[in-house]
Amino acid sequence: MRSIWRTLDRDLARDIALVCLADALVGASFGAIAVSSGFPLWLPMLISVVVFAGAAQFMFIGLIASGGNPVAAVVAGLLVNARHIPFGFAVGDALGDRPLGRIAGAHLMIDESVAFAMAQRDGERRRAAYWACGIGLFVCWNIGVVGGAFGGTAITDTDVFGLDAAFPAVLLALVLPSLKDKTTRLAALTGVLIALAATPFLPAGLPVLMALAGVLVAVLGSRDGTNTRRDTAEEPA
């Protein structure tokens, strides 16, 4: 654990802290919305600790509050969270080898911790970024939810602060360096188009998963050309 904080430089720590702060505000809005929808105080806190996934949490309480079947709400939440399967394969190495660390680390897997990890070049920084972001967000998110649940309707509409634009901007900034690679860029672009085209017709969560079809571009690309490209890239200058 200690090596994580040692590896973490000041810039990375500051970037992560900013995201934690923004997410704490969103967490506060989650707590406030849940309580003002008529749910007991403890429910948003329980959900935030047990589920710890913003989009799925909002969807879950939104569906139940509007009179939806709890089973349907669970299914909808699971659909939104299914992207964690491919995420786990991509950042699994950042969690370390110890079984306990893997369990704790898996629970901290969210879009931001994955994006921060993927944006690092070497393995050690990857691990540090993943854990620091995961732990920081878990703590801040839950503090925010508790504050929002008790504080009532102080913050329900985070759109006023533009936080709805901050979330995609955070992911975009972190993902941008990976898009320098031509194959990755093509795959991402294809995936984005598929997801956007599918959104009007499919339940939340599925369009993003369908974007994975864009990876086929990279599969085909690496069959003819990527290998040679990688060879040239690794030649000493």
Site membership for other proteins, residue 167 (CB under 8 A): yes
7-43 in b/e burial notation, b at 16+ Cβ within 10 A?
bbeeebbebbeebbebbbbbbbbbbbbbbeeebeeeb
Q: b/e for 184-214, b at 16 or more Cβ within 10 A? A: bebbbebbeebbeebeeeeeebbbbbbbeeb
Among 92, 123, 152, 225, interactor with other proteins by CB under 8 A: 92
Single residue of 97, 224, 231, 235 touching other proteins by CB under 8 A: 97
- For 200, half-sphere exposure in the C-beta direction (CA atoms, 13 angstrom radius) is 2
Q: Pick one of 114, 132, 133, 135: the residue that binds other proteins (CB under 8 A).
A: 114
Asked if residue 64 binds other proteins (CB under 8 A), the reply is yes
Applying the rule CB under 8 A, the residues between 32 and 61 that interact with other proteins are 38-40, 43, 46-47, 50-53, 56, 60
Q: How far is the CB of 156 from other proteins (least distance, A)?
A: 15
Q: Cβ–Cβ contacts within 10 Å for residue 165, how many?
A: 10
Q: Interacting stretch for other proteins, rule CB under 8 A, among 1-9, 141-149, 171-179?
A: 171-179
Q: What amino acid is encoded at 33 in this protein?
A: I
* Sole binder of other proteins in the list 200, 224, 235, 237 (CB under 8 A): 200
The region of 2-10, 143-151, 209-217 touching other proteins under the rule CB under 8 A is 209-217
Figure out which of the listed residues 102, 146, 156, 229 binds other proteins, where binding follows CB under 8 A.
102
- Is residue 65 within 8 A of residue 39, CB to CB? The reply is yes
Note whether 65 and 47 are within 8 A (CB): no
User: Is position 4 an interface residue for other proteins (rule: CB under 8 A)?
Assistant: no
Place of tokens 């309580």: 35
Question: Does the footprint of other proteins cover residue 10 (CB under 8 A)?
Answer: no
Asked if residue 156 binds other proteins (CB under 8 A), the reply is no
